[in-house]
Amino acid sequence: MTRDEEKILCKTPTPGKAPTRIPKWKFDVVRAAILTLVGREGEVYFTDLPEKVGALLDAAARAELGSLAWHVTTVKLHMETVGEIRRVPGKGRQRIARA
């Protein structure tokens, strides 16, 4: 990774929490996988996201990504903030769906 690599500012819905910058390619790969999952399955449990996203990525992307769970959470929170996905209301495990 080079210092001039393009990065995306990932927002969070948590008030007062600073946004995080991640490389654009990582953001794009994880975002596309999340959109594929919610498009195909309708609703996805948040706890299942890292495993399901990982299954959609090739071995090289998984190896270069680093912490898959961290990146999935960061991108998911940003997608909630900008209105691409939403949390499904209800009790129990957190579920996400297309907004």
* DSSP SS3 for 22: strand
pTM value > 0.85:
yes
Within 13 A of 84's CA, how many CA atoms are on the CB side? 15
User: Domain map of the chain by residue range?
Assistant: 7-98
CATH number for region 7-98: 1.10.10
Q: From first to last of the 99 residues of the chain, give the pLDDT tens digit.
A: 455 689 999 999 889 999 999 999 999 999 999 999 999 999 999 999 999 999 999 999 999 999 999 999 999 999 999 999 999 999 999 999 999
